[in-house]
């Protein structure tokens, strides 16, 4: 009962704090025409698309430092989890095994038992890297650390170079998987002129009707090959912009919400950001898996 | 009233965002509706429906995100 009461009190206080902070904040002050209260006076979010360099003269950007942080977090977690391995796992080792098993099950579901080993390392790595970048960026105080005016750390996914690099890695690996599984025959996905040749062959032999049909379908399938090539190239773009856009939009959205209503309401968006980080990590790794499977299974 | 280049830019960005987000908005609503229908028909498949719904929503949302990126570029860079 006391727990229920405490919950009610917390909700009431939260509901009361939100409008108070809105009226006292910068936007509310603009509407009422008074000075904003100093505790609610949040500076306007400052949108910077390119990563900034906190150290003057050194070509080290703040997103690079954030990447190092997330890599060290991942390495530390996995080192600690696999240090003293036991047959019956407990604690961190258990969590890591659960994660790996879940990923393995997911990949087996999508691509089948025989392809699981092929896709597992890269897919799980991309998932963990994107997730770590997103969630490390949510730690309170992450963006507030400043060195001579420029933030020392910034969510690495909001620098377009990181998503672009991941997209390139993903696409190049997909093509490698395709070539390894099918050898030179994988090229047929892009340059499909076999049917066209057959059609011309028939045409020369005097079978006009079958020949014309063959030539027609040959042209169509050659065109489909070109489309396939284009779609493989545009994947890089869509991969990059999906991750970059979602993360940048999240950063700006949270900043704007803190600017408008400094208390309570930003928590909602903070939670949404945590969810979006997970969803984007899932999508990036899942699409790599699906494209890889399509390349391995490409019909001839 | 004369229209300055600045005003035209903001007007263009506003129109662009409002029309560009129409499609994803409809798509997300439709995904939600069909997911609810599927859930009503087959409540045991809750987990699978949920995962696929969130994935599809993220795909539809990506289009809105492209709109957002171009809007930000228009305002900040051009």
pLDDT in tens, A186-227: 888 788 777 788 888 888 887 787 788 888 888 888 888 888
What DSSP string describes A59-93?
---HHHHHHHHHHHHHHHHHHHHTSS--SS--HHH
Rounded Cα gap, residues B55 and A127, in angstroms: 14
CB spacing of A279 vs B68 below 8 angstroms:
no
CB spacing of A245 vs B54 below 8 angstroms:
no
The answer to whether residues A244 and A157 touch, using CB atoms and an 8 Å cutoff, is: yes
Confidence label for A300 from pLDDT (cuts 50, 70 and 90): very low
CB spacing of A242 vs B69 below 8 angstroms:
no
Report the pLDDT averaged over residues A110-114. Answer: 85
Smallest CA-to-CA distance from A267 within A137, A140, A134, A130 is with: A140
Given a cut of 80, whether residue A74 has pLDDT beyond it is yes
Tell me the chain B residues in contact with residue A248 when contact means C-beta distances shorter than 8 Å.
69, 72
CB spacing of B69 vs A245 below 8 angstroms:
yes
Cβ pairs bridging A and B (under 8 Å): 37
Report the pLDDT averaged over residues A57-77. Answer: 90
CB atoms within 10 A of CB A134: 27
In B, minimum Cα distance to A275 occurs at B54
pLDDT in tens, A224-265: 888 888 888 888 988 998 899 889 888 888 888 888 888 888
pLDDT in tens, A92-104: 899 999 999 999 9
Give A196's contacts (C-beta < 8 A, 6+ positions apart).
A214, A215, A218, A219, A221, A222
pLDDT in tens, B6-63: 888 889 999 999 999 999 999 999 999 999 999 999 989 887 888 788 878 888 888 8
Smallest CA-to-CA distance from A146 within A71, A266, A55, A51 is with: A55
Rounded Cα gap, residues A261 and A258, in angstroms: 5
Tokens in use for A107? 């990949």
Residues 229-288 of A with CB under 8 A from B: 238, 241-242, 244-246, 248-249, 252, 279-280, 282-283, 286
What DSSP string describes A124-189?
HHHHHHHHHHHHHTTSTTTTT-EETTEES---GGGSTHHHHHHHHHHHHHHHHHHHHHHGGGGGGG
Rounded Cα gap, residues A290 and A254, in angstroms: 32
Rounded Cα gap, residues A286 and A209, in angstroms: 45
Given a cut of 70, whether residue A298 has pLDDT beyond it is no
Report the pLDDT averaged over residues A22-38. Answer: 77
Tell me the chain A residues in contact with residue B59 when contact means C-beta distances shorter than 8 Å.
283
ipTM of the complex: 0.70
Residue in B13, B20, B68, B73 to test binding to A, most A beta-carbons within 10 Å: B68
């Amino acid at each position: 009962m006391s727990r229920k009461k405490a919950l009610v009190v917390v909700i009431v206080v939260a509901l009361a704090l939100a409008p108070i902070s809105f009226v006292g904040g910068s936007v509310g002050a603009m509407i009422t025409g008074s000075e904003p209260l100093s505790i609610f006076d949040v500076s306007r979010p400052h949108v910077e698309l390119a990563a900034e360099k906190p150290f003057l003269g050194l070509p080290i950007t703040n997103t690079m430092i954030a990447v190092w942080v997330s890599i060290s977090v991942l390495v530390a977690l996995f080192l600690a989890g696999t240090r003293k391995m036991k047959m019956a796992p407990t604690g961190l080792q258990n969590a890591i095994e659960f994660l790996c098993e879940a990923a393995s099950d997911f990949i087996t579901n999508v691509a089948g038992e025989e392809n699981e080993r092929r896709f597992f390392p890269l897919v799980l790595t991309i998932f963990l890297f994107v997730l770590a970048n997103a969630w490390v960026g949510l730690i309170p105080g992450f963006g507030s650390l400043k060195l001579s005016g420029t933030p020392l750390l910034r969510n690495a996914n909001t620098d377009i170079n990181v998503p672009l690099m991941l997209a390139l890695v993903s696409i190049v690996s997909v093509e490698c998987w395709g070539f390894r599984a099918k050898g030179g025959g994988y090229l047929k996905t892009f340059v499909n002129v076999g049917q066209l040749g057959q059609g011309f062959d028939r045409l020369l032999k005097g079978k006009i009707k079958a020949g014309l049909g063959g030539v027609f379908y040959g042209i169509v399938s050659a065109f489909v090959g070109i489309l396939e090539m284009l779609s493989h190239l545009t994947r890089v773009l869509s991969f990059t912009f999906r991750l970059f856009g979602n993360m940048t939009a999240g950063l700006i959205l949270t900043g704007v919400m803190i600017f408008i209503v400094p208390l309570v309401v930003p928590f909602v968006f903070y939670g949404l950001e945590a969810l979006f980080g997970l969803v984007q990590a899932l999508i990036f790794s899942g699409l790599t898996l699906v494209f890889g499977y399509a390349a391995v299974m490409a019909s001839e | 009233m004369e229209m300055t280049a600045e005003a035209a830019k903001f007007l263009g960005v506003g129109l662009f965002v409002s029309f560009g987000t129409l499609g994803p908005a409809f798509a997300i609503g439709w995904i939600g509706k069909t997911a609810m229908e599927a859930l009503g028909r087959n409540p045991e498949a809750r987990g699978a429906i949920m995962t696929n719904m969130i994935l599809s929503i993220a795909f539809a949302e990506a289009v809105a995100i492209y709109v957002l990126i171009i809007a930000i570029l228009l305002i900040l860079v051009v």
